[in-house]
Chain A
Amino acid sequence: MSAIDELIEDTGAFDCVECGKCTSVCPVAEINSEFAPRLIVVKAQAGLEGLAKEKDIWSCLTCGLCNDMCPYKVDFTEFIRGMRSEAVIHGALPVCSKGGLLQTMGRIMTSPELKQNRLSWVTDDLKVAEKGDIYFFTGCTAHFDYIFEEREIKTSGILVAAVKIMNSAGITPAVSNDEVCCGHDLNWTGNEEHFEKLMEKNLEVIKASGAKQVVFTCPEGMRTFEFDYKDIAGDLGFEVLHISELILDLIDQDKLQHKDLDGKVTFHDPCRLGRHLGIYDDPRDMIKETGAELVEMERSRNKSTCCGVSAFATCEASSKQMQIERLKEAKKTGAQKMLTFCPKCWLHFKCSTWKKFPGLEEEVDIPIEDATIFFSKTLE
């Protein structure tokens, strides 16, 4: 069990004293009684043989609530990610959404001969360039338009909004047709081999654009660059920046004129943006800048719950309930809209509402919108 021992060491799982705090906050444990983060760590310590085949490691949403709560700072999510690559080696594969279409797409993008045309979202009124100081990383946001066509939400709108914002602030962001998926889903479903190939391609593309800063709208992409790329490739040679941070900078340098919007909105902290990257205030400040009234949900900032699915591999009965609870919470705040930054959160919340539900409609029919699109509305 050398690989697992090494993993336990890296993530400090040995320090776990089974206090049970993590299990109390874990959204999955709340619904699925058999699941408990602690249980998995204890089994790992005992060096249990069949651990890699354990079904539960695929139920963990890696939302990081337990990390946040653990008094002994056990990096439980990293432990699960390591365990998953072990599980894959032992042939215990997850049942992924859409039959694993996203994972397949990710692997295909590692092929060197691929000539993509992923910039179809760049409409004529947007100014983008081959090279530039700021590189705008889009990842798979545009691809979800087609994969989840039946949910009628255009995630590519997020990219258009972001470029509009940058253009109005005089920035012509660099984008590239050879950019590939950041590899987040492959990394979190135990496929490190292809994850590294994607990383190499992306780093090469960004180096070619000569950018100093790379802007992200998608928190999963940013977290993957911030932690996983640096973890493997060390210094990336550029700074990683979230769109909300950039917007606030531009407003400070008053390069960005915008008018105010009215209405009451609430904000859902995506796990990767909040607990993983620790960015809580920038989004809120950005929303406040728009003049709209921001009301906080009961569970917000590092306490906000998860959208129920991560890396398109953990969608289960519990995911649905989490989404409904979260939407009820948002509705309760009286906000007209729930904003979030992550295209995946948007997709999963939409999944639980696009179908009519007997007796539930009015409690969950709060519209969901991406914060970047919301902010871009201030520019008209």
Chain B
Amino acid sequence: MAGEASTKPPADSEHHEAQTPPPGEPINLIAFCCNWCSYAGADLAGVSRLQYPPNVKIIRVMCTGRIEPEFLLHAFELGIDGVLVCGCHIGDCHYISGNEKAEVRINTLKKLMDMIGIDSRRLRLEWVSASEGTRFAETVKDFKEQIEKLGKNKIYIAQS
């Protein structure tokens, strides 16, 4: 059917101003998940067989409070297209306030990223609890679409 519109459902393709990634190169995402809440949430998504895009690779940390801004900026330096940080809801943190510290650090880093020229929407902080399997799957889907709209991260600094 020559000239047939892209097979994507019409609603989705309307507001797709930025070009989706070249078919060759898929979106490459990293997610830092805290061991007690969001990693368990990700497991629950698995146990309930909720399907979400395979572009995200999860790294387990004991608490989002352990995430140095350097980890996130280093990821962008290496060409990762988006970093998702998932922690416990405020007040749920197994270490009481790890997530609050993470929130402050990540908001500051976002300002720095904008200044440096990396779109701060490529970094996203989400609260996912141990019983929110569906929320984790939705977040990953939504984040991937959001990054697809932003397009590939053009920065790539080869490490010596």
| Whether chain A touches chain B in the assembled complex (some CB pair under 8 Å) | yes
Selected from A100, A146, A194, the residue in CB contact (under 8 A) with B157 is: A194
Q: Given known contacts A113-B154, A191-B160, is B69 in contact with A108 (CB within 8 Å)?
A: no
Is the CB of B116 closer than 8 A to any CB of chain A?
yes
What 1/0 mask marks residues of chain B from 63 to 89 whose CB sits below 8 Å from any chain A CB? Answer: 000001111011011000000000000
Is the CB of A129 closer than 8 A to any CB of chain B?
no
A residues 114-153 in Cβ contact with B at 8 Å:
114-118, 120, 142-143, 146-147, 149
Selected from A98, A114, A191, A194, the residue in CB contact (under 8 A) with B70 is: A98
Is the CB of A237 closer than 8 A to any CB of chain B?
no
- Shortest B72–chain A CB gap in Å is 10
Name which of B70, B76, B77, B114 has the most chain A CB atoms within 10 A of its CB: B70
- Shortest A187–chain B CB gap in Å is 14
Q: Given known contacts A100-B70, A105-B73, A108-B76, is B115 in contact with A143 (CB within 8 Å)?
A: yes
Selected from A98, A108, A149, A193, the residue in CB contact (under 8 A) with B118 is: A108
- Taking residues whose C-beta sits less than 8 angstroms from the other chain, chain B's interface range is 20 to 34
Is the CB of B117 closer than 8 A to any CB of chain A?
yes
Query: Closest residue of chain A to B73, judged by CB?
Result: A104
Query: Closest residue of chain B to A142, judged by CB?
Result: B115
In the complex, what distance in Å separates the CA atom of A105 from the CA atom of B114?
12
Query: Closest residue of chain B to A104, judged by CB?
Result: B73
In the complex, what distance in Å separates the CA atom of A100 from the CA atom of B157?
15
B residues 89-134 in Cβ contact with A at 8 Å:
108-109, 111-112, 114-118
Is the CB of A99 closer than 8 A to any CB of chain B?
yes
* Residues in A neighbouring B154, C-beta threshold 8 A: 111, 113
Is the CB of B155 closer than 8 A to any CB of chain A?
yes
Query: Closest residue of chain B to A112, judged by CB?
Result: B154
Say what secondary structure dominates the interface of chain B: helix
Q: Given known contacts A143-B112, A146-B112, is B70 in contact with A115 (CB within 8 Å)?
A: no
- Shortest B27–chain A CB gap in Å is 17
Q: Given known contacts A108-B73, A193-B160, is B117 in contact with A115 (CB within 8 Å)?
A: yes
Selected from A107, A114, A194, the residue in CB contact (under 8 A) with B117 is: A114
Q: How many A-B residue pairs have CB under 8 A?
A: 67
* Residues in A neighbouring B77, C-beta threshold 8 A: 104, 107-108
* Residues in A neighbouring B74, C-beta threshold 8 A: 100, 104
* Residues in A neighbouring B160, C-beta threshold 8 A: 88, 191, 193
Query: Closest residue of chain A to B110, judged by CB?
Result: A146
* Residues in A neighbouring B156, C-beta threshold 8 A: 111
Query: A110 near B70 (CB under 8 angstroms)?
Result: no
* Residues in B neighbouring A118, C-beta threshold 8 A: 115-116
**Cβ-closest 10 pairs across A and B:** A99-B70, A113-B154, A116-B117, A114-B117, A146-B112, A99-B68, A111-B155, A101-B70, A146-B111, A104-B73
A/B interface sample: 7 pairs, CB < 8 A: A98-B68, A100-B74, A101-B69, A105-B112, A110-B157, A118-B116, A142-B115
